[in-house]
A and B are shown apart, each in its own frame.
Chain A
């Protein structure tokens, strides 16, 4: 079996009385494309935010290549309020800032695209190179890192060429059409040299043709950059086409998992989706 990349264990995220994610356990293995699906408000994006440390989970653990990356247990007010399970299973509190997670090798895109809108396409991608540079503020200011800066720029140009965005290099990111903004956001995430890529509804707002292209694109970047990919998506066609395995969330709870065909026939999934989604 392929090596485990991401291991999410009993993660619960509770906001006051609302349990957004309830004891979620899931895995992503090397080279896999895993889809996280579920009706609106099922807690998919919250799960992403826990993995990328935007939120500190109320309880549970996230490990990256077997190393614990995020871990927490109910504290303070949550001790009484906590409504998930396994509350006593975790004893340490590891809560890094999101940038640390990115540095470990997890990159993400956002549901509502978050580009640096008034910067150019080139700068948007170049910024991703900042975190791995060895410069300090003095060497960078006085141009003592010329070699490194040149390397960062060259890498950015190479990536833009690979992603077929080179002709837009000097465009202002916010002025691009929607589809291109999505692609730029993925390119920017790739520029951080991730091992695991998290895509939050990459097909949102795309037409059927674009969605189909996106499917091919996801498989293609997986192979090209040796990635593992975790994707949140509503378009069932896309999910069925690209995903190796699927996790289904409903009201924060995992209700099914397995290969696309297994999940498709699962009665729970059908119940959760009926009358909720158009599919």
Chain B
């Protein structure tokens, strides 16, 4: 395909997407499920791409995502909870004077600006934490790094729910009354998360394509060789860690807005695992894979596999196994199947390209005319 054709295709696809989102926004009341899946998909695609930036492109196996999302979520929530409702939120312990004065000082800002500012502030706070934690922790090798970052995320969670932080994080009561997407009239409930997600992902893609992105990839491939090419390991790893944490926290902020109320329990290790699974299914080292994975996983978890959870009777025959919880069992089995037999995930480490569509068509044709080729599973001594 020619380049101009591809650009045209991309433009058409983008226009269709915006049109679709606008259309869905008008159906918000009747299609609540679909809208909420789209919102969540957009949020998780940011989180997944930023995890991929670190785990896939830089080769740093970090499991601290939940902690950084928590930081982003709490900062965003504190900034955006309407001033008149904040006392009610902190009814148990009262609000810290510092928060009140910041909120008063910012009260002149219109809400959209405030939200944007809040998300960026959340990202910056998380980036600050990442910078501090990164200096010692990034010296560790693969699985030690994983367990240390996982530990860090648990430490953050404990700090948030500790009584000493009551006046800031409202301790174990969590924060409520966080404004959702699109304010009172509800317009922009999809465009806002999609817009922010697109912006974040585009920035990350630009980074990956830049000279720094190449340096990150070099580190992932071979640290010793990367150093021999003059790439400062500590500096570049720290940079990838900080940038990834920034965007993870933005995703956390959006998650707070999506959920409307958050508590420390929201950000357990399982949240990190969810993001990791999206990255794995999409393909480690593929941005488009992560984005597709985010929507696919969210939709199948919350929607397509939902019928597994409801008991079903065909005639007099009670279909066995179907009851609450079966959906997640199927989902985790699917995941294990991907991990074991389809290790490259949906996209491997490639990116989506318009050429893929005719190629995919040919592939399907081949699959159905010949016997399917076996994939993966080969072993050597």
Question: Which A residues are within 8 Å of any B CB, using their own CB?
Answer: 52, 54, 97-100, 102-103, 107-108, 110, 114-119, 123, 126-133, 135, 137, 140-143, 145, 149, 152, 188-189, 192
B227: chain A residues within 8 A (beta carbon): 54, 97-99, 102
A-B contact pairs, 26 of them (CB 8 A): A54-B224, A54-B227, A97-B232, A98-B224, A99-B230, A110-B228, A116-B226, A117-B221, A117-B222, A118-B221, A118-B349, A119-B214, A119-B217, A127-B215, A127-B226, A130-B229, A130-B230, A137-B239, A137-B243, A140-B207, A140-B210, A141-B206, A141-B207, A141-B210, A142-B206, A189-B228
Assembled-state Cα–Cα distance A130/B236 (Å): 12
Asked if A116 and B221 make an inter-chain contact with CB atoms under 8 angstroms apart, the answer reads yes
Question: In the complex, how many angstroms separate the beta carbon of B226 from the nearest chain A beta carbon?
Answer: 8
Which residue of A126, A137, A143 contacts B214 across the interface (Cβ within 8 Å)? A126
B234 within 8 A of A: yes
Specify the chain B residue showing the minimal Cβ separation from A192.
B230
Assembled-state Cα–Cα distance A171/B357 (Å): 23
Which residue of B207, B224, B231 contacts A114 across the interface (Cβ within 8 Å)? B224
Assembled-state Cα–Cα distance A76/B225 (Å): 30
Question: In the complex, how many angstroms separate the beta carbon of B368 from the nearest chain A beta carbon?
Answer: 30
Which residue of A99, A108, A140 contacts B212 across the interface (Cβ within 8 Å)? A140
B22 within 8 A of A: no
B203 within 8 A of A: yes
Asked if B239 and A141 make an inter-chain contact with CB atoms under 8 angstroms apart, the answer reads no
Assembled-state Cα–Cα distance A110/B226 (Å): 12
B211 within 8 A of A: yes
Asked if B221 and A130 make an inter-chain contact with CB atoms under 8 angstroms apart, the answer reads no
A52: chain B residues within 8 A (beta carbon): 228
Q: Which 5 interchain pairs have the tightest Cβ spacing? A: A131-B230, A102-B230, A140-B210, A114-B225, A98-B227
Specify the chain B residue showing the minimal Cβ separation from A191.
B229
Q: What's the count of A-B pairs with C-beta under 8 Å? A: 99
Asked if A98 and B211 make an inter-chain contact with CB atoms under 8 angstroms apart, the answer reads no
A137 with B207, Cβ < 8 A, contacts A118-B221, A119-B221 known = yes
Asked if B222 and A114 make an inter-chain contact with CB atoms under 8 angstroms apart, the answer reads yes
User: B193-251: which have CB < 8 Å to A?
Assistant: 203, 206-207, 210-212, 214-215, 217-218, 221-222, 224-234, 239, 243
Specify the chain B residue showing the minimal Cβ separation from A189.
B228
Question: In the complex, how many angstroms separate the beta carbon of A117 from the nearest chain B beta carbon?
Answer: 6
A188: chain B residues within 8 A (beta carbon): 229
Query: Interface size bucket, B side?
Result: 20 to 34
A133 with B221, Cβ < 8 A, contacts A98-B228, A127-B229 known = no
Specify the chain A residue showing the minimal Cβ separation from B217.
A119
Assembled-state Cα–Cα distance A102/B210 (Å): 21
Asked if A130 and B215 make an inter-chain contact with CB atoms under 8 angstroms apart, the answer reads yes
A131: chain B residues within 8 A (beta carbon): 229-231
A99 with B231, Cβ < 8 A, contacts A127-B214, A127-B215, A143-B206 known = yes
A102: chain B residues within 8 A (beta carbon): 227-230
Question: In the complex, how many angstroms separate the beta carbon of B200 from the nearest chain A beta carbon?
Answer: 12
Question: In the complex, how many angstroms separate the beta carbon of A234 from the nearest chain B beta carbon?
Answer: 22
Assembled-state Cα–Cα distance A133/B232 (Å): 13
Asked if B210 and A128 make an inter-chain contact with CB atoms under 8 angstroms apart, the answer reads no
Asked if B234 and A107 make an inter-chain contact with CB atoms under 8 angstroms apart, the answer reads no
Asked if A133 and B217 make an inter-chain contact with CB atoms under 8 angstroms apart, the answer reads no
Assembled-state Cα–Cα distance A130/B243 (Å): 19
Assembled-state Cα–Cα distance A89/B76 (Å): 59
B239: chain A residues within 8 A (beta carbon): 137
Specify the chain A residue showing the minimal Cβ separation from B227.
A98
Specify the chain A residue showing the minimal Cβ separation from B203.
A141
Asked if B221 and A128 make an inter-chain contact with CB atoms under 8 angstroms apart, the answer reads no
Question: In the complex, how many angstroms separate the beta carbon of B379 from the nearest chain A beta carbon?
Answer: 19
User: B74-117: which have CB < 8 Å to A?
Assistant: none
Specify the chain B residue showing the minimal Cβ separation from A126.
B214
Q: Which of A100, A115, A117, A130 counts the most B-chain CB atoms under 10 A from its CB?
A: A130
Assembled-state Cα–Cα distance A189/B231 (Å): 13
**Given contacts A130-B229, A143-B210, A152-B211, could you give 4 more A-B pairs where the C-beta distance is less than 8 Å?**
A54-B227, A99-B231, A128-B229, A137-B210
B221: chain A residues within 8 A (beta carbon): 116-119
Specify the chain A residue showing the minimal Cβ separation from B234.
A97
A140: chain B residues within 8 A (beta carbon): 207, 210-212
Question: In the complex, how many angstroms separate the beta carbon of A51 from the nearest chain B beta carbon?
Answer: 12
Question: In the complex, how many angstroms separate the beta carbon of B121 from the nearest chain A beta carbon?
Answer: 19
Specify the chain A residue showing the minimal Cβ separation from B225.
A114
Assembled-state Cα–Cα distance A124/B224 (Å): 14
